[in-house]
Amino acid sequence: MTSKPILEIKDLHHTYMEKTPMEHQALTGVNMAIQEGECVAIIGHTGSGKSTLIQHFNGLLRPQKGKVVINGQDMSEPKIDIRKVRRKVGIVFQNPEDQIFEQLIGDDIAFGPLKMGLPIEEVRDRVKWAMEIVGLSFEELKDRLTYALSGGQKRKVALAGVLALRPKVLVLDEPTAGLDPRSRIELLSQIQLLNKKENMTVVFVSHNMEEVAYLSDRVFVMAEGKTVLDGSPKEIFSNQNVLEQHNIGTPETVEILSGLKKEGYSVDLSAYEVKNAAAEIISILQSGKGGESIGRT
């Protein structure tokens, strides 16, 4: 890609409680460039700086040192219109309750567009579109009380509230944490739809490597406050030495293939997708270790 990144980070540093006994350096020189339309995962062990980093993506935190450029706007500029930036970059945090303000679902999702001063007809259209995108029936649920929702439904409402702003970039912090398997699959499908069909740039933080393998076009690995590796999921999950060094897991498919390789079987560790991993295992069952068949006779 030759176009300018929609989001660019250069040598970003951030220190909490600077010049106090509680000083903690969370970011120590992050570099990152994300192109429009990409779906990017950020992974790393707890404390690697992921959550601090994404708070710079829409101005919740401002650069102490280094540069953050969002959709061509330098976040270090003192006169930057931060509200305008936040309409372009929407963040859904891990705890959806923190982003729900109103008693009724429809009112909560309409909160942002109303603050933008949009006509009521457009606000209604945006709320309906956002609810349908995340799998919530507009007619059935717009007047339902938010406090009575399940965790999965609250996450969908929080996501719809951000989508109603029509952001160019959607940032998600552990999007499926605490969800049951059905809700998790539904949400992953919705995220993929937004990225592929709506051409929305998606950046998500996750500890779930299966989700990373399923969704992402590119992966950034963080450790000790900086990026230590980036590439396609195939490139990242093939680099087990670096992942193990920083206490980062791999998808179960890669773990299975790695176990087979340690037993002496010839396998392709980059076959992380389920169908490809299955083909590798079938091949082993048919040929066996050292060429002897271990399949059915």
- In tens, the pLDDT along 246-285 reads 988 888 888 888 888 888 888 887 788 888 888 888 888 8
- Is there a single domain that holds both residue 244 and residue 274? no
pLDDT at 51: 94
- What was the pLDDT predicted at 291? 43
What is the predicted pLDDT for the residue at 238? Answer: 85
Which residue range(s) make up the domain with 261? 251-289
Total-model pTM: 0.88
Report yes or no on 92 lying in a domain: yes
**Claim to verify: residue 99 and residue 143 sit in the same structural domain:** yes
Point out the residues of the chain with pLDDT beneath 70. 1-2, 288-297
Quick check: is 146 in a domain?
Answer: yes
On whether both 261 and 213 belong to a single domain, the answer is no
Residue 101 and residue 82 in one domain: yes
Same domain? For 257 and 246 the reply is no
- Per-residue model confidence (pLDDT) at position 290: 45
Report how many domains make up the chain. Answer: 2
Q: How much is the pLDDT for 178?
A: 78
Regarding whether 282 and 156 lie in a shared domain, the answer is: no
Do 156 and 14 fall within a single domain?
A: yes
Contact 207, 10 (CB under 8 A): no
Check whether residue 225 and residue 272 sit in a common domain. Answer: no
